[in-house]
Structure 1
Amino acid sequence: MGYIEDLRSIVGHRPLILSGSGVAVFNHEDEMLLVKKFDGRWGIPGGFIELGESAEEAGRREVFEETGIEVGKLELVTVISGQQTYAKLKNKDEYYSVTIVYKTNDIVGGILKPDGIEVQEARFFGVGSLPVNLNPLITSMVKQYFPKFGL
């Protein structure tokens, strides 16, 4: 059982504050890597931080697990938190996330392949060609920190 499952066994479905990392990955053509989750929305690779793991380690791990791409150096972009991060899952678990967002163009290995578990599709998008069904938090982040993508 993982950390979050251990917490849930104690607190039930009550809201938790969970920390995570997300990474905006750019290739040599300055295209942004996005992943399509099974809810049909696109976003950047990311997920929750495990016990003892740094935010940077979590970001690299999540990029690799979700997309098969290995990344190196990360640069801090922003921290997303607050009411807009509230989520209630189908199983009635509730949480607010504090997500540390990084960017990188340091792709050091791997082959682009969605994991098929959390991610159904992963691909790079160029300026002006981002999908319309972006996660709203990602849309806001792209507008603020990557305005050249034209949202």
Structure 2
Amino acid sequence: MGYIEDLREIIGTRPLILVGAVVGVIDEHGKILLQKRPEGVWGLPGGLLELGESVEDAGRREVFEETGVEIGQLQLVDVFSGKQYFRKLPNGDEFYPVTIAYFSKDIKTSTIRIDGKESIDAGFFDLRELPDHTTPLVRKLIQQYSSILR
């Protein structure tokens, strides 16, 4: 059992503050890696930290687990937090995420392999032609990424 599952055993579904990382992986053509989650929404690969794990390592681990893509160096983009990001999961668990967002162009292996649980599809998309049902966080990150490039 992981850290969050252990916490849930103790406190039930009450709200938690959880820290996670997402990574906008950009390929050599300037396209961004997105994953489609089981609920049908396209977003950035990422997830929550485990005990003792750095945010950067969590970002790399989640990208690999969810898409099969291995990455190296990360560039910090921004931190997203606040009541507008509150989540209540179908099982009743509630949390306020603190999401640390990165970009990476340092792709070690680019073969996409989805896990079928957290990702039902994945691919690289043109920044101006995103798929329908893309999360608002992706669009915010792309705006910030574009301003970094200027």
Q: Output the TM-score relative to the length of structure 1.
A: 0.93
Structure 1 residue ranges without an equivalent (≥5): none
Task: Note the C-alpha offset of 1:76.
Answer: 0.3
Q: Post-superposition, which runs of at least 4 consecutive aligned residues in structure 1 deviate over 4 A?
A: none
Farther off after superposition, 102-111 or 35-44: 102-111
Matches of residues 37-116 of structure 1 in structure 2 within 5 Å?
37-109=37-109, 111-116=111-116
* Residues matched between the structures, number: 148
Task: Note the C-alpha offset of 1:97.
Answer: 0.3
Match of 2:29 in 1: 29
Q: Counterpart amino acid of 2:71?
A: V
Match of 1:140 in 2: 140
Task: Note the C-alpha offset of 1:92.
Answer: 0.5
In structure 1, what is the Cα distance between the partners aligned to 2:57 and 2:93? 26
Q: Counterpart amino acid of 1:62?
A: E
| Contact 2:127–2:142 (Cα < 8 Å) also in 1 | no
In structure 2, what is the Cα distance between the partners aligned to 1:5 and 1:127? 35
Residues 32-82 of structure 1, C-alpha deviation per residue, up to 9 Å, x if partnerless?
Answer: 000000111111100001100000000000000000010000000000100
Task: Note the C-alpha offset of 1:110.
Answer: 5.0
Structure 2 residue ranges without an equivalent (≥5): none
Check if 1:117 corresponds to 2:120: no
RMSD across aligned C-alpha pairs, in angstroms? Answer: 1.5
Q: Counterpart amino acid of 2:106?
A: D
